[in-house]
Amino acid sequence: MNDRTCIVTRQNAETDELIRFVVGPDSSVVPDIKRTLPGRGCWVTADRLHIDKAAAKGHFARAFKKQVTVSPELGAMVDALLARSVLGALGLARKAGAIALGAAKVDGAVRSGKALLVIHAIEASEDGVRKISQARRATVHLGGPAIPAYKLFSEAELSLALGGTNVIHAAVLAEDAGKAVLKRMVALDRYRGGSPDDLAMLAAVADEDDAAEDME
């Protein structure tokens, strides 16, 4: 068994595109999000669909070549671990001063190009999201970075992680602590199937600008 071959698709992939699992002392399948647990591991494509399939179709027993216990909540367990990892990274970013809170500060961080990513609470209003999306488009239009936005956590979860109250909009700044948040946020977003992402829209804005320059 190739160490980095998904046991469901049988395709090789980069480590960041897979989740490692090991067998615990009680023969239960344990997710190894940090890839540090001892013992022989197997890998599954890092999204809920493939992990649920691996659990339901007996892929883990075949990969480990023995009887194992697979929790019916394995998919939810992985989701919770990935979410906890993101929220922990957000807390560290806040302590490092790499977080901007509130619509006005987020807008400023986006327009200045200092934001690495934007976070909206699930409860965020369409109008609030729209205004920040306009800032993201304007930044790309002016030659700045395409800044991704995610809507994966509730206001309560963000407020607890970021030490604030009623946190609806936040920007993570492009610093070392921010890069750690982005990596974990991408992993969680991918695991949940990908949020409706408007990066394609932002890229289209940049392409339109390039086309206009070519015509000048």
Cα separation, 30 vs 28, in Å, equals 6
Query: How far is 149 from 195, CA to CA, in rounded Å?
Result: 9
Q: Is the pLDDT of residue 58 over 90?
A: yes
- Domain 96-215: give its CATH architecture: 2-Layer Sandwich (3.30)
The yes/no answer on whether domain 15-72 falls in CATH 3.40.50.1980 is no
Measured distance CA(37)–CA(99) in Å, rounded: 31
Asked if residue 142 has pLDDT above 60, the reply is yes
Classified as helix, coil or strand, 13 is coil
Residue 214 has pLDDT above 50, yes or no: no
Question: 15-72 and 96-215 share one CATH topology?
Answer: no
Q: What is the predicted pLDDT for the residue at 9?
A: 96
pTM of this structure: 0.87
Give the pLDDT band of residue 207 (cuts 50, 70, 90): low
pLDDT of residue 194: 84
Question: How do the domains of the chain map onto residue ranges?
Answer: 15-72, 96-215
